Amino acid sequence: MNRNVHHSQIVFLYSLLLVLVGCHNNAHLRTQKVLKPGEKAYSGSGVVALGGVDVIDGYDEIDNTGVMGLRGEVSMLKGGNNLEAGPYFGVGIGDDGPGLILGYDYRKYTGQRSGSPKKLGAQIEVNIGEAGQTFHLRPSLTSTTKKGKPFYGGVHGLLAVGNLMDRPWFEWETVDSSEVYEDNWGNISYDRDWHHIEQEFDYRFNSLGAGLTAGAEFLAFDNNSIQLQVDVSLVKNSFSTDAEPPNIDMENVIWTSWQDDNGNNDEDENWGSHDDEFFPMLTGSIGMSFFKPDPTNKESFEPLPAPSYNSGQTQPIFDPETGEKISGAMRFDPKTGEAILETQFDPETGEQIAIAEEKQKMSYDEILFQAKNAANSRHNRAIYNAAGIASCFIYPVGLPVAILYTESGIVSTMNPYDPVYLDLDPSQKNQYKHAYKKEEKQLRRKSIYGAEGFCVGLVLFATIVGESL
Asked if residue 136 has pLDDT above 50, the reply is yes
Tell me the C-alpha to C-alpha distance, in Å, between residue 198 and each of 40, 55, 120, 201, 364. 50, 20, 46, 10, 73
Q: What pLDDT score was predicted for residue 199?
A: 78
- Tens of pLDDT, residues 139-190: 999 999 998 899 999 999 999 999 998 877 677 777 876 666 666 776 766 6
Q: What pLDDT score was predicted for residue 265?
A: 58
**Number of other CB atoms surrounding residue 465 within 10 Å:** 9
Q: State the Cα–Cα distance between residues 129 and 244, nearest whole angstrom.
A: 24
State the average pLDDT over residues 312-340.
Answer: 53
State the average pLDDT over residues 104-119.
Answer: 90
Q: What is the pTM of this model?
A: 0.59
- Tens of pLDDT, residues 361-396: 788 889 899 999 999 988 888 788 877 777 776 665
Q: Which is more confident, 357 or 105?
A: 105
Return the percentage of the chain with pLDDT > 90, whole number.
Answer: 26
Contact 86, 77 (CB under 8 A): yes
Asked if residue 6 has pLDDT above 90, the reply is no
**Number of other CB atoms surrounding residue 72 within 10 Å:** 27
Q: What pLDDT score was predicted for residue 124?
A: 94
**Number of other CB atoms surrounding residue 318 within 10 Å:** 12
Select the highest-mean-pLDDT range: 176-180, 313-317, 428-432, 447-451: 428-432
- Tens of pLDDT, residues 256-279: 766 665 555 554 456 778 888 899
Q: State the Cα–Cα distance between residues 343 and 354, nearest whole angstrom.
A: 5
Q: State the Cα–Cα distance between residues 229 and 215, nearest whole angstrom.
A: 4
Q: How confident is the model at residue 465 (pLDDT cuts 50, 70, 90)?
A: low
Q: Count Cα atoms within 13 angstroms, Cβ side, for 299.
A: 8
Q: How confident is the model at residue 300 (pLDDT cuts 50, 70, 90)?
A: very low
- Tens of pLDDT, residues 58-67: 555 778 898 9
Asked if residue 304 has pLDDT above 60, the reply is no
Asked if residue 247 has pLDDT above 50, the reply is yes
Who contacts 202 (Cβ-Cβ below 8 Å, separation ≥6)? 163, 164, 165, 241, 242, 243
- What does the mean pLDDT of the chain come to? 78
Q: What pLDDT score was predicted for residue 241?
A: 86
